[in-house]
Amino acid sequence: MSCRPERNSLASRTSRSSGIVVFGPSTTNSSNARFIDPKFLSSSSGGGSWAYQDWVQHTGFTVEKSEAARALTDGRAVFSTISRENYLDGRNVNINYRSDMPDQIDRLLGGMLSGDFETIAPYVLASDTNDPDGNGLPNPELRAFNLSGASPKRPTDAKLVFPNVGYKQSLGALVFAHIFARLNGDLALANKMRVWVDGLSGEIKIPDAQQARFTNPESGYTYVAKKYGPQTIDGKVVDKGIGSRMVARGNALLKAVFETNGEDAYGSPVIVYDANNEPKRLSTASDATLNEFRAWVGTMDATVQIGTLVGYGPFYGLGSVDWE
């Protein structure tokens, strides 16, 4: 659900420089795809131009993709049981998908929240020339990327399909995963998603060697996340953390916009400043690239704010409080 493309859209998309491609006429439907945008009945037989929002024909997939993150991470018990083992603690029945598939869930959220779509995107096979409608054009099967195993790998002839995930879907996933994953008392996922600003409230003290850092030269803020060690996904080496992958993307965008001179002790780019203490912009950096960098800074700020708002506790032991 989190990485599904749009319904009936694959034939009209253009190739992307990232290697995420599209193919000919597709068979996407409600079983393997979702609508990007909501649709309202705004005619005279519906809500007209005033009350059209009350006449929803279908929602956009921002709702479903965010809810998918909640479904995967919700740590509350799915059934009620009365047994001797639950009288003193009871958390043993509070499980979620991450309890059984921690690597897969962390990789999915890490790729989504860091904008590293190549590590989570579904794909088709170039060798799949199936032509069920007989129109002479291949209609390959859309396949999900299996994120299990020590080093997940797609087939060599795989062609990636953009998973239609962006800022709105990422924020929903971030909020729901932060809130609901901790309801079983396990903060491992929340800790992996946490990003903080150096020197501000919410800062965590960890050894320098465990820190991933990204400095925004326009504000001077330094964003920090904990590193959890490398892993390889379809031939690409990324960190096992989630916040650390967001930091890495910030550094990659920074190097595409500003002049840098090597790396510091944290492995972050050293920014070059001019005589007025302004970061030197690369002559090859377009306004679109700069805007992409600034948009990512906004994503980092939202991540910091959400992490601060939800706090550091598990939200557990509050009796009948319903966090819905």
- Model confidence over 185-200: pLDDT tens digits? 889 999 999 999 998 8
Whether 181 contacts 73, CB under 8 Å: yes
Instruction: Report the SS3 class of residue 143.
Output: strand
Q: What are the structural domain ranges in the chain? A: 1-36+61-192, 194-314
Partners of 273 in the beta sheet? 279
Residue tagged 């993150």 (tokens) = 69
DSSP for residue 6: B
Q: Other CB atoms closer than 10 Å to residue 204's CB: what's the count?
A: 12
pLDDT of residue 22: 44
Nearest to 190 by CA among 118, 116, 96: 96
* Helices and strands in the chain: count of H runs, count of E runs: 7, 11
Look up the pTM and report it: 0.82
**DSSP letters for 88-111:** TT-GGG---HHHH-HHHHHHHHHH
- Model confidence over 290-317: pLDDT tens digits? 999 999 999 999 999 999 888 888 864 3
What value does the mean pLDDT take over residues 257-282?
Answer: 95
- Model confidence over 202-212: pLDDT tens digits? 788 999 999 99
